[in-house]
């Protein structure tokens, strides 16, 4: 029984690890400026913890194989040196790994979430609601109109509660159902929710952020290649949560300018 179990454990370990190592299922290609640092950090962690995983499981399997079912074996042996040296060694090894991961990882994190946005960023206002995303561009005047929750009227397309009658800055605001951005330009999103909590996740851009009702949360990134991906809500938000998606389209700069012009003409 023991030997069988040891073999089973070894097979499970090897199969599990192989699929990780061969990248059979892996992250989609990265389209963002900061993504490479996340991918790097993930790969480092994968190597370190992968070694720990295989080592721990194989030692466990080895002991099960070696010390199992010994009917008339000699007296039991104590672990060499007892617990203390092992505890000290483990604390140091894990401690060093933690320290490294924290030092490097917190820099990566700070680079994405704590660094101030580029002043030349294209500013886009994002509203999440049950069960859609809406994106607002400031238009020709470069200023966003004020929002008024009491004026929100989805039936007439006033998703943000704008007041174009009295508010001149609101008149040229462009509202889109998909996030269209120019390549290689820093983007700054101002994220707010109309009703309940939502989230913004684009695996290809390596960004994810919750929307919290009552808060406006900034998020900035730069896309480095053109392409079209799906953006999904990752915070459970109600009945239609499974259907809350939108497209992100990264365009060449001139193409984006044309798109903006077309949108302005339509609105």
Partner 1 sequence: MSHPATAAPAAPHAHGPPQSFLRKYVFSLDHKVIGKQYLGLALVAVCTGMALSWLMRLHLANPDLAIPGLGKLWPNGAPGGVMTPEFYLSLMTMHGTIMVFFVLTTAPFAGFGNFVLPIQIGAEDMAFPRFNMMSFWVTFLAFLVLVSAFFVPAGPPISGWTAYAPLSAVGKDAGPGQGTGQLLWAISIGIFCVGQLLGSLNFIATTLDLRTKGMTLARLPYSTWAWFITSVIGLIAFSVLLPACILLILDHVAGTSFFIPAGLVISDTLQPHAGGSPLLWQHLFWFFGHPEVYIAILPGFGIVSQILPVFARKPLLGPRVLIACMIAIGFLSYAVWGHHMFLSGMNPFSATLFSVPTLIITIPATIITLLWIGSLYGGKLHFTTAMLFCIGFVSVFVSGGISGFFLAQPSIDVYLHGTYFVVGHFHFVMGVAAMFGIFAGTYYWFPKMFGRMMNETLGKVHFALTFIGVYAIFMPMHYLGLHGDVRRYSAFTDEYMKGSIPLHRFITVAALFTGVVQLLFLYNLVRSRFRGAPASDNPWRATTLEWTTSSPPPHDNFGGHHPVVTQGPNEYGATGQAEDYVMQTAPERRPGA
- The CA distance from 204 to 30, in Å, is 5
209 forms part of the interface with partner 1 (CB under 8 A): yes
Q: Tokens 């990264």, residue?
A: 250
The correct pick among 238, 252, 253, 267 for binding partner 1 (CB under 8 A) is 238
60 forms part of the interface with partner 1 (CB under 8 A): yes
Cβ count near 69 (within 10 Å): 10
Q: Tell me how far, at minimum, the Cβ of 255 lies from partner 1, in Å.
A: 22
Cβ count near 25 (within 10 Å): 7
78 forms part of the interface with partner 1 (CB under 8 A): yes
Q: Is the peptide bond before 131 cis (omega within 30 degrees of 0)?
A: yes
Q: Tell me how far, at minimum, the Cβ of 140 lies from partner 1, in Å.
A: 28
- The CA distance from 117 to 97, in Å, is 31
The correct pick among 207, 223, 248, 251 for binding partner 1 (CB under 8 A) is 207
The correct pick among 84, 156, 166, 266 for binding partner 1 (CB under 8 A) is 84
- The CA distance from 144 to 156, in Å, is 19
The correct pick among 36, 242, 252, 257 for binding partner 1 (CB under 8 A) is 242
DSSP 69: T
Q: Tell me how far, at minimum, the Cβ of 248 lies from partner 1, in Å.
A: 12
Per-residue x/- track, 20-59, partner 1 (CB under 8 A): x---xxxxx--------xx--xx--xx-xx--xx--xx-x
Per-residue x/- track, 146-175, partner 1 (CB under 8 A): ---xx-xxxx-----x--------------
Token pair for 217: 């949360």
Token pair for 36: 């490479």
Phi, psi of 236 (to 5 degrees): -55, 120
Segment contacting partner 1 (CB under 8 A): 116-124, 163-171, 203-211, 254-262? 203-211
Q: Tell me how far, at minimum, the Cβ of 245 lies from partner 1, in Å.
A: 7
* Residue with smaller CB distance to partner 1, 111 or 142: 111
140 forms part of the interface with partner 1 (CB under 8 A): no
Per-residue x/- track, 101-130, partner 1 (CB under 8 A): xx--xx-xxx-xxx--------------xx
68 forms part of the interface with partner 1 (CB under 8 A): yes
Name residues whose C-beta falls within 8 Å of residue 235's C-beta, 6 or more positions apart in sequence.
Answer: 197, 198, 199, 210, 211
54: closest CA among 119, 105, 9, 100? Answer: 9
181: closest CA among 224, 210, 141, 147? Answer: 224
The correct pick among 116, 156, 239, 266 for binding partner 1 (CB under 8 A) is 239
């Amino acid at each position: 029984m023991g030997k069988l179990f040891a073999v089973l454990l070894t097979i499970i370990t090897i199969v599990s690890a192989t699929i990780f190592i061969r990248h059979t299922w892996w992250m989609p290609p990265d389209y963002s400026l900061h993504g490479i640092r996340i991918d790097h950090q993930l790969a480092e962690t994968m190597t370190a913890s992968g070694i720990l995983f295989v080592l721990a499981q194989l030692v466990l399997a080895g002991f099960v194989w070696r010390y199992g079912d010994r009917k008339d074996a000699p007296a039991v042996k104590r672990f060499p040196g007892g617990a203390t040296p092992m505890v000290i060694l483990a604390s140091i090894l894990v401690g060093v790994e933690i320290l490294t991961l924290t030092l490097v990882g917190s820099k990566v994190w700070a680079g994405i979430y704590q660094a101030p946005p580029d002043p030349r960023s294209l500013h886009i206002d994002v509203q999440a609601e049950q069960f859609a995303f809406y994106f607002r561009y400031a238009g020709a005047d470069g200023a966003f109109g004020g929002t008024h929750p009491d004026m929100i009227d989805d039936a007439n397309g006033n998703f943000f509660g704008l007041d174009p009658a009295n508010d001149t800055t609101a008149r040229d605001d462009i509202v889109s159902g998909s996030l269209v951005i120019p390549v290689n330009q820093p983007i700054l999103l101002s994220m707010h929710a109309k009703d309940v909590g939502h989230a913004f996740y684009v695996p290809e851009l390596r960004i994810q952020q919750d929307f919290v009702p009552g808060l406006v949360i900034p998020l900035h990134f730069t896309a480095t290649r053109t392409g079209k991906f799906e953006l999904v809500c990752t915070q459970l938000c109600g009945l239609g949560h499974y259907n809350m998606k939108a497209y992100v389209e990264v365009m060449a700069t001139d193409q984006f300018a044309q798109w903006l012009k077309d949108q302005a003409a339509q609105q």
